[in-house]
Amino acid sequence: IASNKITQVVFTRGVGLHRILGTSIDLGIGTFIDRIATSICEILSTPESQHELLESYNTNPAHERKMPRDFFKFFGDKNIYGGEILEKFSSFGDYAQINYSIPMIKDSSTDMSYTGLLTSVKNSLKKDGSSEEAGERDPSANHFLLDAAAACQYSAFKQIDVKTRRCMEILKKVNSQSKTINLAGGCSHNKTFYSFMQAAAKDYDHSIVRSARNQAQDNPVSVAWMGWEYLN
């Protein structure tokens, strides 16, 4: 389950038969993403900063794929979630340009954490993403924002990937009947997260399922869908 309030790896043997193998000890992945998306949107809140980003990105010969002129039309849309916003920004960034540490990667547990990564990303956004010390915005800060979006998204979801694989190793050792990775929560439709989970499913010879996008934003609906699929 990867949603706003909850990030958990749950082993389900049947209806009502659940065991939590790993959980976030502070923030849910969705809350982390929402806060980063909000910070980036605040930096790019003016038409001038938005125009600068489009111009500096699209005039860079290294960028074969150009940002559309109406890229920022989603600003002000109350029906769009932070996850969608961060994914839009990250699609034009390069996660390899910034090395955000993957949280709890050296910890042998199956639990997850996001407060440290949140602090690291927000501090970097203040330092390198909103440079206005000389009264003029540094154009290089624009590209940093896109790379930061991609890099923090990568690190956040990579942590879930590592912890999920660790949980699957535990289940493998005890000869569990686990056969399918069921994704629940709004993050289940994030392309980066889904690619991680697809790879894990392939490596452990599991199938992978997720509810439709219009159901994924509501945890009870998403979980109920899984139960329906299981029973039918």
Q: What is the DSSP string of the chain?
A: -BSSS-BEEEEEEETTEEEEEEEBSS--HHHHHHHHHHHHHHHT-SHHHHHHHHHHHHT-TT--SPPPTTGGGGTT-TT--HHHHHHHHHTTS-GGGS-PPPTTTT--SS-B--HHHHHHHHHHHHHHSS--TTSS--THHHHHHHHHHHHHHHHHHHHHHHHHHHHHHHHHHTT----EEEE-SGGGG-HHHHHHHHHHHHHTT-EEEE--HHHHTSHHHHHHHHHHHHH-
Stretch 30-47: mean pLDDT: 93
pLDDT per residue as tens digits for the range 150-196: 999 999 999 999 999 999 999 988 888 788 898 988 888 899 999 99
Q: What is the pLDDT of residue 185?
A: 85
Q: What is the pLDDT of residue 130?
A: 56
Confidence of residue 98 (pLDDT cuts 50, 70, 90): very high
Q: What is the pLDDT of residue 139?
A: 53
| pTM of the full structure | 0.88
Confidence of residue 23 (pLDDT cuts 50, 70, 90): very high
